[in-house]
């Protein structure tokens, strides 16, 4: 039986024990094509998103033959690790990673680097450090990519002091030369831990080693200084960009706008949009998404709606999160009809807001006597989330006949 068929069978049997025949693809089966692997990976990802039983999550990961390093592989295993961590099943996490290491296609720096990050996601930094140290015994040369992954692993685990130790000791210990990604990763950790001032010394060290900072370096530093409300340092970073020949492009503007919106200074962020347009630069959907979220959080729904319409008029495609934000805050503002219009557009793209938002929308529609529209939403939710229909049936039964 082809692997993709086995995953389909897993879906059908997810409420029953897994059999060894389902979980172990027949070695005589011809290798899957690239298209078949993608379908199998999507099936595995769907299963993992639905599954709650830790043992079955481990079984699904063991059964999947995803190509290491692909985004589908990363997404699937990230979902699995998150669920197992939530249930404190650290043994299952270690089993998944050790099973991956037993595969021949995982014997590369790229693949092991991703597993190191997964350990960080789980908060298992000692395991991440051990795996890094064991790479030579696995026949894998330790490179700067693995070092950068270990640093990032420390950051996502919140182990900032350990990150500093690794950055200080490991390059010399393992004969590695840090690159711009190394410095960007460390700078991210420093900014996240409230030490944005370190950006100045990081830039100085990079210069002394002949490593040119890039747009990401400055994006991270600028976001860090905004977070600490050190606006003079933001300006210093912008001046430094000119020194290093780094353009103040749309990516930098987006970071500045997002940071200002987080500080509830959305009007200042919108002034940056005006600056972009005056420079004949082209904003993108991310630009508008940050502004819309900022104005929604501040309760300025008219501005948010105007920006949403402007984005559409510029033929920019809103991202899923932008739709979800609009629907959620419009419901909070009792603007249920506009919320319904935007929600329908989102659903037409396969993007459905979370349960809380959808229940709020349905309740709101009922309150403004849009019962038929509420029934349409309920029907979609029952169809899309067949495993959790009881709350919707309960609401449906209470509707006017």
Question: Where is 382: in which H helix or E strand?
Answer: helix 371-384
Reduce the DSSP state of residue 335 to 3 states and report it: coil
pLDDT recorded at residue 8: 44
- CA-CA distances (angstroms) from residue 202 to 186, 198, 212? 9, 6, 11
pLDDT recorded at residue 17: 39
The two three-digit tokens of residue 96, written as one number: 């998944």
pLDDT recorded at residue 120: 97
First to last CA, the chain: 50
pLDDT recorded at residue 5: 45
pLDDT recorded at residue 119: 97
pTM: 0.85
Which residue, 150, 133, 127, 66, is CA-closest to 100? 66
Sequence-separated (6 or more) residues with CB below 8 Å from residue 325: 289, 292, 293, 296
The two three-digit tokens of residue 251, written as one number: 């990516």
pLDDT recorded at residue 35: 67
Q: Could you report the per-residue pLDDT of 104-153, keeping only the tens digit for each?
A: 777 889 989 999 999 999 999 999 999 999 999 999 999 999 999 999 99
* Residue keyed to tokens 């092991």: 112
Question: Where is 379: in which H helix or E strand?
Answer: helix 371-384
Mean pLDDT of successive 10-residue stretches along the chain, which has 401 residues? 44 40 44 64 81 89 64 84 95 93 84 95 98 94 97 98 98 97 98 96 96 97 98 96 95 98 98 96 97 98 97 95 97 96 94 93 93 91 80 79 67
pLDDT recorded at residue 104: 79
pLDDT recorded at residue 388: 76
């Amino acid at each position: 039986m082809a692997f993709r068929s086995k995953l389909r069978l897993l879906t059908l049997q997810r409420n029953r024990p897994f059999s060894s025949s389902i979980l172990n693809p027949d070695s005589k089966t011809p290798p899957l094509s690239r298209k078949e692997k993608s379908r199998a990976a999507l099936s595995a990802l769907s299963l993992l998103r639905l599954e709650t039983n830790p043992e079955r999550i481990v079984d699904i990961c063991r059964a999947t033959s995803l190509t290491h390093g692909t985004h589908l592989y990363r997404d699937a295993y990230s979902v699995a690790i998150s669920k197992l961590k939530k249930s404190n099943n650290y043994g299952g996490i270690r089993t998944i990673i050790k099973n991956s290491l037993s595969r021949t296609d995982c014997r590369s720096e790229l693949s092991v680097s991703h597993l190191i990050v997964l350990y960080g996601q789980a908060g298992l930094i000692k395991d991440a450090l051990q795996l890094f140290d064991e790479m030579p015994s696995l026949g894998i040369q330790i490179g700067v990519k693995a070092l950068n992954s270990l640093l990032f692993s420390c950051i996502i685990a919140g182990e900032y002091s350990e990150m500093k130790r690794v950055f200080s000791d490991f390059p010399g210990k393992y004969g590695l030369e840090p690159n711009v990604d190394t410095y960007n990763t460390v700078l991210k950790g420093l900014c996240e831990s409230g030490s944005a001032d370190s950006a100045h010394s990081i830039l100085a060290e990079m210069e002394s080693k002949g490593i040119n900072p890039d747009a990401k370096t400055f994006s991270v530093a600028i976001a860090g200084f905004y977070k600490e409300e050190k606006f003079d340092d933001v300006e210093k970073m912008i001046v430094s960009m000119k020194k290093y020949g780094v353009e103040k492009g749309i990516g930098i503007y987006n970071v500045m706008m997002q940071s200002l919106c987080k500080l509830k200074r959305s009007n200042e962020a919108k002034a940056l949009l005006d600056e972009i347009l005056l420079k004949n630069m082209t904003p993108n959907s991310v630009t508008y998404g940050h502004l819309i979220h900022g104005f929604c959080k501040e309760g300025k729904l008219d501005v948010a709606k105007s920006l949403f319409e402007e984005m559409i008029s510029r033929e920019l495609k809103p991202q899923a999160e932008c739709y979800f934000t609009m629907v959620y805050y419009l419901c909070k503002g009792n603007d249920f009809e506009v919320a319904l219009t935007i929600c329908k557009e989102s659903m037409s793209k396969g993007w459905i807001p979370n349960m809380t938002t959808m229940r709020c929308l349905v309740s709101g529609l009922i309150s403004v006597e849009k019962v038929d529209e509420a029934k349409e939403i309920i029907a979609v939710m029952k169809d899309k989330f067949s495993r959790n229909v009881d709350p919707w049936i309960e609401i449906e039964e209470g509707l006017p006949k």
